[in-house]
Structure 1
């Protein structure tokens, strides 16, 4: 089972599950815990091969569906029937996959630094990574990706946080996660259609230049999706601007909880 940490304040408090991105761990949410634990039960998870979760869990043909099933196993272990899910970067794909395969378990999605489509620049970057992944040290590739995705001076803290966490991975795990991106665009397009009934908030740094345009497009097509740009923030907006990220996320969760607590008359 995946390594996880829980903070439970009350049996009646809503659960919020945090899912980090590739190369991260549950520790990347350190700027969220203090605020969220005031009114929410918190579940923090290390995805397979990350943090303190076991390595070498991959089987031939494993997909994001297999990764998402492992998160559900943690929810089952601690007895959580429904949860709000907050994902970051590649973790947003895991979050959307959970919503697709287990919609009855998801109250809402909050997708930070969301990845819903790769443009030509990102495709080239990932193609280069997949081509070189077996003979170039993964940390060299990861540092390159981090600088391309988070290039500005104000992104330095988040960039260093993810680089330092990625050092805990190994080349084999990096290769497996990189391989998942090979056919991602058609898969993500289907996810947007299949999860549009679940309340979804996209939180994007206004300097997240690679990933904002597809978000703007999908939000225009789906009335149930909401989108907030966080100023002076890059891809990892939960670290760049934690106060704003926390406020927008908590406000959204409160709105969903209030909506669900209203019992229709009659």
Structure 2
């Protein structure tokens, strides 16, 4: 099935499950709609699950114009998928690039979200590495544009991906194979238009503080450049909780699918019950020990 974005781009999506509240899964740069299979299979038992291929990822359209790629456009594509299905509100779940989309979804369309799950998000947010990240994103774009099959072998074994390979080499091979299928134009434009130009979380402070949606932040403890951004989101977002998975890298939902599903299921249940509340004002982060 295809949704039509505001600029006419066709966005491919799949669904699983017919009952329960909807969950929209938004994939990372290194994935595609099918990277959510462990979650689609599990959560379809109790939820209406939707996954889609971002623009630039087949079988969605692959615009050749760089200006048809941006963080704001990525959010509107997610809304277009919900609109095509006639879904007013959904739990919004994203990994990495998809996690950034979830943050911006919550800031720009809070009325369309039941909750937010932000997993493995933060690359380029740390101010000391912000400019470096923008530059390396352009290099990655060039590499994918030259030869996505060859570069998938390099990109797929980065510092926060080897944890996945060590734990589950068979599934990691599938991940690298998925990378190798990236369209060279779509991958390059996504890197240049979305990744290299998206704002840091530190630039969104006022919006984050005002966002009261139930929020789960997930980070692997060996995903170094997402740890501090994850802690920052926890400090800024009043109804957020932070989960750090031990001995875990970037590809959370595939590297630790059982833990990912377990914690996501508990969070969704609490959010739907109204039990995932804003932080108690008595939990003052400036207090060390109470004395009066």
TM-score (norm 2): 0.78
Q: d(CA) in 2 for partners of 1:117 and 1:56? A: 24
Q: d(CA) in 1 for partners of 2:18 and 2:207? A: 33
SS class of match (2:49): strand
Residue of structure 1 aligned with 2:81, choices 67, 74, 77: 74
Q: d(CA) in 1 for partners of 2:205 and 2:171? A: 27
Q: Where does 1:202-221 land on structure 2 (aligned, <5 Å)?
A: 202-221=217-236
Q: d(CA) in 1 for partners of 2:253 and 2:206? A: 26
SS class of match (2:234): helix
Range with greater deviation from structure 2 (87-96 or 1-10): 1-10
SS class of match (2:273): helix
Q: In 2 relative to 1, CA 191–164 (structure 1 residues): closer, same or farther, beyond 3 Å?
A: farther
Range with greater deviation from structure 2 (200-209 or 132-141): 132-141
Aligned to 2:241: 226
Residue 241 (structure 1) aligned with residue 250 (structure 2): no
Q: Where does 1:154-173 land on structure 2 (aligned, <5 Å)?
A: 154=167, 156=169, 159-173=172-186
Aligned to 1:44: 51
Q: d(CA) in 2 for partners of 1:176 and 1:17? A: 23
Instruction: Tell me the CA shift for residue 142 of structure 1.
Output: 4.5
Instruction: Tell me the CA shift for residue 102 of structure 1.
Output: 1.3
CA contact (8 A) 2:219 2:250 kept: yes
1:36-94 deviation per Cα after TM superposition (whole angstroms, max 9, x unaligned): 01111101111112142121264526421112112211111111000001101111111
Instruction: Tell me the CA shift for residue 33 of structure 1.
Output: 2.1
Aligned to 1:258: 273
Q: In 2 relative to 1, CA 141–124 (structure 1 residues): closer, same or farther, beyond 3 Å?
A: farther
Instruction: Tell me the CA shift for residue 197 of structure 1.
Output: 1.8
Aligned to 1:124: 132
Q: d(CA) in 2 for partners of 1:77 and 1:234? A: 34
Q: In 2 relative to 1, CA 132–213 (structure 1 residues): closer, same or farther, beyond 3 Å?
A: closer
Range with greater deviation from structure 2 (63-72 or 163-172): 163-172
Aligned to 2:187: 174
Range with greater deviation from structure 2 (193-202 or 14-23): 193-202
SS class of match (2:225): coil
Q: d(CA) in 2 for partners of 1:95 and 1:108? A: 10
Residues paired across the two proteins, number = 257
Aligned to 1:183: 197
Aligned to 1:9: 18
Residue 201 (structure 1) aligned with residue 208 (structure 2): no
Structure 1, unaligned runs of 5 or more: 261-266
Q: d(CA) in 1 for partners of 2:89 and 2:82? A: 8
TM-score (norm 1): 0.85
